[in-house]
């Protein structure tokens, strides 16, 4: 009874955290539009806007490399708390910055928001098993992704209205407030995490004497060098390195449709280009939310997670849908395609995050940090290349090339997982029987061989 009460209490507190995270995500997406407009209006140069984005992505890249080391020294709760406090403080700096220091304040905002946003996400994802239990991580991931998707649509949809009606300063105040609210919800959350709290139960891979348990020796030997520990985390299970690489290529593809959507929308209706973009993202978010509901019901009914194969198949479906979205189909068909893209995106997010969370608590933060680095690198490089390509090629061609690369890597990943599953099927039967049914849903062929 006490265990059930503790589980229910933990889930209620996690819901509170997700509410705060969704509110701060709304502020982030609102500010993404408002800050870009403000940068251009303040400097009058498109180059400054590009520099602003470069600093933001670069900060996220570096934060991903440092995240594992930070989570090895401090609790995940502390990292999440101070990440939000820092973002709220830098927005306050921008609000009161005099005209002569506005450009410097904007660069500070870009640096802090890019770096702290990545640190918060790594800390949140790596500490979910400790907050709600390993068996509920799929539900927890779906809930956070649902909140973020709804916040993204609300932020993008309201940004123009907020800036037009109340101005940039009010938009920055709203963003500062959302970060403050998220910090309060984190402060109320009693979690350990980050390698400084109580250790989680070992996962099946560790029980087999392979994979994650080998990493602590690497960590001790590495001393202050945290990047090798992150790569040791990727070596903990076959296919995990390819999975993270696919995530980076997927981010490269995402940069293409984000940049191409406004161009394509202007070609459809030059007088109202924002209509198609807004409608597309609203339908995308609806598909994402519907997918989360289906995933939660599937997990509740079967006790299984979608696994690594779900990530591979989801990436193929998502990339294919984004390519079709630019193919010039009638609007009704494009609406269905947007729903499919959102649903597949939701599937990939849950399966990917849940799979990395099967790593031990000693390696989880490093793996998520390196993953964030790959994602920022892929999106940043993609943003530059796509911007250059859109001057010469059609949106369909640019998106097809970018997402086509993701499809190719995803096919290779699926082939590898299926091959590993076939190779390990015979010995896996007895191993699963010995380990019990609790983890069967996670064993999809991308785990440690012979486990």
- Of 60, 391, 444, which is closest to residue 243 (Cα–Cα)? 444
Exposed e or buried b per residue across 137-156, where buried means at least 16 C-beta atoms within 10 angstroms of its C-beta: bbbbbbbbbbbbbbbbbbbb
Last residue of one domain, picked from the residues 197, 224, 243:
197
Residues 6+ apart with CB under 8 A from 47: none
What's the total number of domains in the chain?
2
Last residue of one domain, picked from the residues 142, 171, 197:
197
Distance CA 128, CA 186 (A): 13
The answer to whether residues 105 and 5 belong to one domain is yes
The answer to whether residues 349 and 426 belong to one domain is yes
Residue 203 domain flag: no
The answer to whether residues 149 and 250 belong to one domain is no
Distance CA 80, CA 120 (A): 5
Tokens standing for residue 115: 């770096």
The answer to whether residues 232 and 184 belong to one domain is no
The answer to whether residues 165 and 265 belong to one domain is no
- Give the HSE-up count for residue 160: Cα atoms under 13 Å, Cβ half-sphere: 7
What's the pTM value of the predicted model, to 2 decimals?
0.77
pLDDT in tens, 257-306: 988 888 888 888 777 766 788 788 888 988 998 888 888 887 777 767 77
Report residue 144: phi and psi, to 5°. Answer: -70, -40
Residue 207 domain flag: no
The answer to whether residues 182 and 253 belong to one domain is no
The answer to whether residues 191 and 329 belong to one domain is no
The answer to whether residues 189 and 216 belong to one domain is no
CATH number at residue 291: 1.20.1250.20
Tokens standing for residue 414: 């699926």
Distance CA 2, CA 9 (A): 10
The answer to whether residues 10 and 72 belong to one domain is yes
Last residue of one domain, picked from the residues 171, 197, 223:
197
Distance CA 111, CA 61 (A): 11
Residue 132 domain flag: yes
The answer to whether residues 275 and 424 belong to one domain is yes
Residue 19 domain flag: yes
| pLDDT tens sequence for the chain (451 residues) | 555 555 666 678 888 899 999 999 998 888 877 887 788 777 766 567 677 888 888 999 999 989 888 888 888 889 999 999 999 999 998 889 887 788 888 889 999 999 999 999 999 998 888 888 878 888 888 889 888 888 888 887 787 778 778 888 888 999 999 999 999 999 887 654 434 444 443 343 333 333 333 444 444 444 444 445 666 666 666 677 888 899 999 999 998 998 888 888 888 877 776 678 878 888 898 899 888 888 888 777 776 777 788 899 999 999 999 999 999 999 999 999 999 999 999 999 989 988 888 888 788 888 898 889 999 999 989 888 888 888 889 999 999 999 999 999 999 999 988 887 776 654 444 443 333 333 444 444 444 333 3
Residue 206 domain flag: no
Radius of gyration of the chain (CA): 22
The answer to whether residues 99 and 154 belong to one domain is yes
Residue 416 domain flag: yes
* Angle (CA) 246 250 252, round 5°: 120
What are the DSSP calls for 371-428, one per residue?
A: HHHHHHHHHHHHHHHHHHHTTTS-HHHHHHHHHHHHHHHHHHHHHHHHHHHHHHHHHH
- Residue 359 DSSP code: S
Residue 16 domain flag: yes
- Asked whether the beta carbons of 260 and 386 are under 8 A apart, the reply is yes
What's the domain range around 290? 212-451
CA dihedral 378, 380, 385, 387 (to 10 degrees): 140
Residue 421 domain flag: yes
Longest dimension (CA), the chain: 70
Distance CA 415, CA 418 (A): 5
The answer to whether residues 402 and 257 belong to one domain is yes
Report residue 86: phi and psi, to 5°. Answer: -65, -40
């Amino acid at each position: 009874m006490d265990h059930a009460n503790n589980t229910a209490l933990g889930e209620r507190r996690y819901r509170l955290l997700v509410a705060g995270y969704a509110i701060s995500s709304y502020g982030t997406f609102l500010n993404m539009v408002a800050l870009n407009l403000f940068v251009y209006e303040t400097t009058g140069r498109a180059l400054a806007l590009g520099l602003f984005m470069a600093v933001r992505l670069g900060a996220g890249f570096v934060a991903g490399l440092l995240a594992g080391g930070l989570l090895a020294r401090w609790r995940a709760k502390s990292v999440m708390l101070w990440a939000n406090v820092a973002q709220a403080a830098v927005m306050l700096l921008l609000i009161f910055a005099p005209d002569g220091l506005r450009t410097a304040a904007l660069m500070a905002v870009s640096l802090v928001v890019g770096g702290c946003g990545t640190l918060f996400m790594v800390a949140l994802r790596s500490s979910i098993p400790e907050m709600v239990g390993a068996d509920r991580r799929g539900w927890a991931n779906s809930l956070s992704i649902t909140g973020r998707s709804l916040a993204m649509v609300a932020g993008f949809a309201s940004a123009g209205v907020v800036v037009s009606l109340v101005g940039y300063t009010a938009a920055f105040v709203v963003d500062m407030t959302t970060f403050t609210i998220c910090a309060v919800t984190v402060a109320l959350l009693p979690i350990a995490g980050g390698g400084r709290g109580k250790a989680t139960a070992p996962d099946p891979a560790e029980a087999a004497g392979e994979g994650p348990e080998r990493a602590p020796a690497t960590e001790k030997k590495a001393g202050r060098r945290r990047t090798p520990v992150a790569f040791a985390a990727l070596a903990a299970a076959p296919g995990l390195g390819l999975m993270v690489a696919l995530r980076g290529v997927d981010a490269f593809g995402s940069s293409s449709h984000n940049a191409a959507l406004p161009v394509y929308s202007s070609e459809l209706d030059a007088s109202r280009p924002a209509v198609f973009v807004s409608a597309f993202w609203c339908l995308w978010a609806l598909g994402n939310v519907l997918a989360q509901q289906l995933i939660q019901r599937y997990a509740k009914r079967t006790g299984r997670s979608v696994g690594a194969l779900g990530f591979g198949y989801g990436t193929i479906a998502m990339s294919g849908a984004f390519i079709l979205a630019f193919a010039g189909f009638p609007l009704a068909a494009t609406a269905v395609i947007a729903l499919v893209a959102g649903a597949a995106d939701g599937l990939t997010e849950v399966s990917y995050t849940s799979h990395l969370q099967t790593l031990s608590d000693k390696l989880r933060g490093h793996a998520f940090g390196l993953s964030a680095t790959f994602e920022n690198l892929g999106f940043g490089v993609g943003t530059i290349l796509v911007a250059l390509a859109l001057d010469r090629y059609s949106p369909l061609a640019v998106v097809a090339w970018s997402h086509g690369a993701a499809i190719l890597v995803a096919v290779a990943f699926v082939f590898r997982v299926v091959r590993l599953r076939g190779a390990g099927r015979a010995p896996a039967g007895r191993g699963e029987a010995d380990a019990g049914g609790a983890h069967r849903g996670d064993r999809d062929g991308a785990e440690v061989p012979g486990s």
